[in-house]
Chains A and B, each alone.
Chain A
Amino acid sequence: MIELKGLTKVFDTGKARLTAVDHVDLRVPAGEIFGIIGYSGAGKSTLIRLLNGLEKPSEGSVEINGQNITAISGPKLRKARQKVSMIFQHFNLLWSRTVRENIEFPLEIAGVGKEERRKRSAELIELVGLEGRETAYPAQLSGGQKQRVGIARALANDPEVLLCDEATSALDPQTTDAILDLLVDINKRLGLTIVLITHEMHVIRKICHRVAVMEDGRVVELGEVLHVFQHPKENITKRFVAQVTETEDSAETVRHLREQYPEGQLVKLIFVGDQAEQPILTQLIREYQVEVNIVHGNISHTQRGAYGTLILQLKGTADEIAKALAFLGAHDVQTEVMGNA
Chain B
Amino acid sequence: MLETLFPNVDWPAMWEATLETIYMTAVSTLFTFIIGLVLGVVLFLTAPNQLWANKVVNWLSGAFVNIFRSIPFIILIILLIPFTKFLIGSIRGPNAALPALIIGAAPFYARMVLIALKEIDKGVIEAARSMGATTWTIIRKVLLPESKPALISGITVTAIALVGYTAMAGIIGAGGLGTLAFLDGFQRSREDVTLVSTILILVIVFAVQFVGDFLTSRSDKR
- A interface residues (Cβ-Cβ under 8 A, vs B): 52, 54, 77-82, 85-86, 88, 90-97, 105-106, 108-110, 137, 139, 153, 157
**Given A78-B134, A81-B132, A105 and B141 touching (CB < 8 A)?**
yes
Q: Which residues of B contact A92 (CB under 8 A)?
A: 121, 123-124, 126-127
Q: How far is the CB of B52 from chain A (nearest CB, A)?
A: 14
Number of A-B contacts (CB under 8 A): 65
Does residue B20 face the partner (Cβ distance < 8 Å to A)? Answer: no
Partner of B127, one of A88, A137, A157: A88
**Residues of chain B in range 117-171 having any CB-CB distance to chain A below 8 Å:** 121, 123-124, 126-134, 137, 141-142, 145-146, 148
> What are the interface flags for B98-125 relative to A under an 8 Å C-beta threshold, 1 for contact and 0 otherwise?
0000000000000000000000010110
Does residue B188 face the partner (Cβ distance < 8 Å to A)? Answer: no
- CB distance A94 to B142 under 8 Å? yes
- CB distance B146 to A94 under 8 Å? yes
In the bound assembly, the distance between CA atoms of A86 and B127 in angstroms comes to: 8
**Given A92-B124, A139-B221, A106 and B131 touching (CB < 8 A)?**
yes
- CB distance A54 to B145 under 8 Å? no
Q: How far is the CB of B58 from chain A (nearest CB, A)?
A: 18
In the bound assembly, the distance between CA atoms of A206 and B132 in angstroms comes to: 31
Specify the main secondary structure of chain B where it touches its partner: helix
- CB distance B221 to A95 under 8 Å? yes
- CB distance B121 to A85 under 8 Å? no
- CB distance A137 to B123 under 8 Å? no
A96: nearest residue on chain B (CB-CB)?
B145
Does residue B55 face the partner (Cβ distance < 8 Å to A)? Answer: no
Q: Which residues of A contact B219 (CB under 8 A)?
A: 96
Q: Which residues of B contact A79 (CB under 8 A)?
A: 132
Q: Which residues of B contact A80 (CB under 8 A)?
A: 132
Q: How far is the CB of A269 from chain B (nearest CB, A)?
A: 46
Q: Which residues of A contact B145 (CB under 8 A)?
A: 94, 96-97
Give me the 3 closest cross-chain CB pairs, A-B, nearest first.
A78-B132, A92-B123, A81-B132
